[in-house]
Amino acid sequence: MNSYTKFSHTTGRLVASGDAKIYVEEIGISDGPVLLMLHGGFGTIEDFNTIAPTLSRHFRLIGIDSRGHGRSNLGSTKLSYKTMTDDLNAVINALDLRAFSIFGFSDGGVVAYRYAAASDPKLQRLVTVGASWEMNEKEPCWEMISGMTGEAWKEMFPASYDTYMRLNPKPDFDVFSKSVVAMWTDLSADGHPEGTMRDIAADMLVIRGDNDFLTNLESMARLKAMNNKVNFMNVPFAEHVAFDESPEIVLRAMGKFLGVELK
């Protein structure tokens, strides 16, 4: 076992994906089962550090900074869920991973859904938190996400902005924030997986905070009805980042789903 139990942006490497460089960092048991960690929009792998110490005792955790986030640069390709799924493929191939599960939060969960819908037999199980699978202008969160600006994000989440400026190799928050919002509101085939969720054959644990303003219960009920591989959990009192707000509940469910006792 290595000595690292949290993501720190100090021990990783860069993986090429097109003209972008994607930052990848590993912690936990070097020969343990692989769990890929995909964070949310405007975030980084350090967002997982509430639960990483527990997970690192059982898994080889591989954290990936999404394109344009953390230490990964944006590149010239349009930021989209499809592009980030291509980046995930590049990392999996570069690390020569033969079997793995994925933990995806929010945007990272959308990428995980898209990857799973391609039916890679190397993917064993999938856990998502706060991850929508469909999007349209009637979704309750549409007004908020479509109206988001870089200035508004800085005012609402100053620590997130400071982290971006500290880690990004060539920071340009205005360009970056516009790219993220454009990805959120992309209703093309490059966006949310929508009906391809029926194609996912891997077992899924889909977690939502009961007070999550970015996902809604009706949508998750439709997903469970669509694919019998979905195990759905609604976490009481939690909002969007349920694994931060109720880590004991989320870890216990993850442990049961992944076949380990997480404590």
Q: pLDDT class for 3, splitting at 50, 70, 90?
A: low
Question: What confidence tens digit (pLDDT) does each residue in 32-82 have?
Answer: 999 999 999 999 999 999 999 999 999 999 999 999 999 999 999 999 999
Q: In what order do the strands lie in the sheet with 13-17?
A: 13-17, 20-28, 60-64, 34-38, 100-105, 123-129, 203-209, 230-235
Tokens representing 176 are: 């970056």
Q: Count other C-beta atoms under 10 Å from residue 61's C-beta.
A: 26
| Domain locations in the chain as residue ranges | 13-258
pLDDT at 22 over 70: yes
Question: What confidence tens digit (pLDDT) does each residue in 212-235 have?
Answer: 999 999 999 999 999 999 999 999
Return d(Cα 151, Cα 154) in angstroms, integer. Answer: 5
Q: Across the chain, what does the average pLDDT equal?
A: 96
pLDDT above 70 covers what percent of the chain? 99
pLDDT at 102 over 60: yes
Tokens representing 9 are: 């942006």
- At residue 1, the pLDDT reads 44
- At residue 2, the pLDDT reads 57
One CATH from 3.40.80.10, 3.40.50.1100, 3.40.1110.10, 3.40.50.1820 for 13-258: 3.40.50.1820
- Tell me 72's DSSP state: -
Which one, of 216, 217, 227, lies nearest residue 193 by Cα? 227
Return d(Cα 101, Cα 95) in angstroms, integer. Answer: 14
pTM above 0.95, yes or no: yes
Within 8 A by CB and 6+ apart from 83, the residues are: 67, 77, 190
Question: What confidence tens digit (pLDDT) does each residue in 163-174 have?
Answer: 999 999 999 999
Q: pLDDT class for 146, splitting at 50, 70, 90?
A: very high
Tokens representing 262 are: 């997480």
Q: Are 263 and 251 in contact (CB under 8 A)?
A: yes
Tell me the three state secondary structure of residue 173. Answer: helix
Return d(Cα 185, Cα 180) in angstroms, integer. Answer: 9
